[in-house]
Structure 1
Amino acid sequence: MIHLSEVSKTFPVHHRKGPLRRTRKLVTAVDAMSFDVAPGEFVGYLGPNGAGKSTTIKMLTGILTPSSGRIRVAGLDPSRRRTELALRLGVVFGQRTTLWWDLPLRDSFALIRRLYKVEQQRFAARLAELTELLDLGPFLGTPVRQLSLGQRMRGDLTAALLHSPALLVLDEPTIGLDVVSKATVREFLARVNAEEGTTILLTTHDLGDIERLCRRVMVIDHGRLAFDGTLDALRATAPADRTLVVDLASPVPAPALPEGVRLVRREGPRLWLAIAPETNAASVVAAVARDHDVADIALREPDIEDVVTRLYRGSPVEA
């Protein structure tokens, strides 16, 4: 579905040097990027601000032309066959809307039907399906400017999927949403991927989206692909501390802890212990239970956010 081979993108940047002189410098936003995405995959695309994520997406959608390398999306060259690609592609930018601001949501969808030349009967069936899945019915007649952020995002997702694209590209689709709206969007995307086989490329800073939706993760940093694999493989690449939450039967002085374990937090009889990646968690549990009466105990794997942060910083393990 997506093929990149040694793709680079450079931009000229001009700096003023004196009142009459300017210097020109080439800045590399994407540097020799190569990867493939198979049909039906749900891929998370991560990176800090300025890493090259948006530039990659703009090249995939044909907005930008690569400086070098080869790109194919759904078998097409995006920059040369942009109009044809648009019929196979859906795009949602969380900070921008494709809907008409002063029109009711229903009218925006009608205009999008004409843009994509979707047959009326097929459009009606598809709109009814998406309206049910995203609970759009109560505000189909509401002007877009009067919708809440969560309602507008559901409208944007519907607009992107009305023509049943093979590939859906999402850029921060849950930004600013409340917990309920996030859950609705996540559940919908998982269903579209599983039931319709839609390939989804998700760019987000909300790593909760990645953990709940993506089976594969790509991490980009300084224009280069720093990691490509599963979440478990990512955790192994840049291991972070696990957290052991211990509820003691009664408050006691801080227990003696084995090497590789530190007390992070304490509230009455509850202790939060950080366990280093190389330390065996079972031995820590046994040591605590041997010396104290334990009411409950739970082991939490490191948050994906901690793992990605370590990868960005260039941990010794990665090096």
Structure 2
Amino acid sequence: MEAPRTPETVIELAQVGRTFTVSRRTGVLRRERRVVHAVRDLSFTVRAGEFVGYLGPNGAGKSTTIKMLTGILAPTAGRISVAGLDPARRRTALARRIGVVFGQRTTLWWDLPLRDSFELIRHLYKVDRVRYRERLDRLTELLGLGEFLATPVRQLSLGQRMRGDITAALLHDPAVLVLDEPTIGLDVVSKAAMREFLRDLNAQQGTTVLLTTHDLGDIERLCRRVMLIDHGRLAFDGTLDDLRATAPGETSLEAVVTRLYTRDRLFQ
């Protein structure tokens, strides 16, 4: 009998580091330089079909990690592979295999109708017209875009724009979706709809999702696995139940995480 196949690894970081040199003026003619370790000795893997939460306080190294995974930054140490590619060296090729959504930044054209932004994205990614039409029709139905496809992006509500950004990230059918605060600022109804869509996307299509967020409600409702980063290092990697077990007596996930990052400081 043939053994079941193990899901392939789609994200891999091996002893990754990223440093920045910062300077400040200490006198009229003098500047002081120091090296800041944004990420240090970071290693983890994500397998196809996983939905993983990536948590940490401001300054912990989350955004730096995301920028390295998407090729915006190159690591100063270690090795990264995403969808079989080195992000920093193969950024254009990688863009065709991943989708990225930054909750506080849009990838849409501000003054164009939403539909025209999608058409430009089709050309950028060289998506076959028939495949694009099928994909857009399905996403329009699932995310309820029909009423505002002809509306300029600048006139959309935040919830509508976020649905547009999610659609833009999925039009080329990526294997990996990286989400940075995708529900930030959304009202209760829009947030619930976004969570349901992302849950179904992962469960039904097997899209691998890496989610960074400060909204622990997103983590509880979407993620089966959680990683915590602190001072640029991986501090925890396990299930939600494993995470709760680290703080006996705490009833909410927020209390557990707060305790880990304050009283039981992960890395000094």
What's the TM-score once normalised by structure 2's chain length? Answer: 0.95
1:139-183 CA deviation, whole Å, 9 max, x = no partner? 000000000000000000000000000000000000000000000
Distance 1:93 1:317 in 2: 27
Residue from 34, 44, 52 that aligns with 1:43: 52
4+ residue runs over 4 A deviation? 316-319
The superposition leaves residues 234-288 of structure 1 with CA deviations (integer Å, 9 ceiling, x where unpaired) of: 00012343xxxxxxxxxxxxxxxxxxxxxxxxxxxxxxxxxxxxxxxxxxxxxxx
How far residue 316 of structure 1 moved from its aligned partner, in angstroms, is 8.5
Match for 2:82: what amino acid? V
The answer to whether the 8 Å contact 2:101/2:166 transfers is: yes
CA RMSD of aligned residues (A): 1.4
Identify which of 208, 211, 230 aligns with 1:202. Answer: 211
Identify unmatched segments of 5+ residues in structure 1: 242-301
Give distance in 2, aligned partners of 1:101 and 1:24. 39
Considering only CA atoms, is the larger Rg found in Structure 1 or Structure 2?
A: 1
One of 145, 151, 156 as aligned partner of 1:136: 145
Correspondence for 2:134: 125
Find the aligned partners of 1:30 and 1:318 in 2 and give their Cα distance: 13
User: Aligned pairs, how many?
Assistant: 259
Mapped to 1, the partners of 2:83 and 2:263 lie a distance apart of 34
Residue matched to 2:18? 9
Amino acid at match of 2:30: R
- The answer as to 2:127 corresponding to 1:113 is no
Pick aligned residue for 1:56 from 57, 62, 65: 65
Match of 1:99 in 2: 108
- Is the Cα contact below 8 Å between 1:238 and 1:318 reproduced in 2? no
3-state SS, counterpart of residue 80 of structure 2: strand
Q: 2:96 aligns with which of 79, 87, 96?
A: 87
**Is 1:78 aligned with 2:78?**
no
CA distance in 2, matches of 1:314, 1:126: 48
Q: How does 1:293-308 map to 2 (within 5 A)?
A: 302-308=251-257
CA contact (8 A) 1:238 1:317 kept: no
**Unpaired runs of 5+ in structure 2?**
1-9
Structure 1 residues 204, 223: CA separation in 2 closer, same or farther (over 3 Å shift)? Answer: same
* Structure 2 residue aligned with 1:309: 258
Matched, 1:22 2:31: yes
Q: 1:153: which partner in 2?
A: 162
**Mapped contact 1:237–1:317 kept (Cα < 8 A):** no
Where does residue 248 of structure 1 map in the other structure?
Answer: none
Q: In 1, distance between residues paired with 2:101 and 2:265?
A: 37
Q: Given the two structures, how large is their TM-score scaled by the length of structure 1?
A: 0.80
The separation in 2 between residues aligned to 1:71 and 1:156, in whole angstroms, is 26
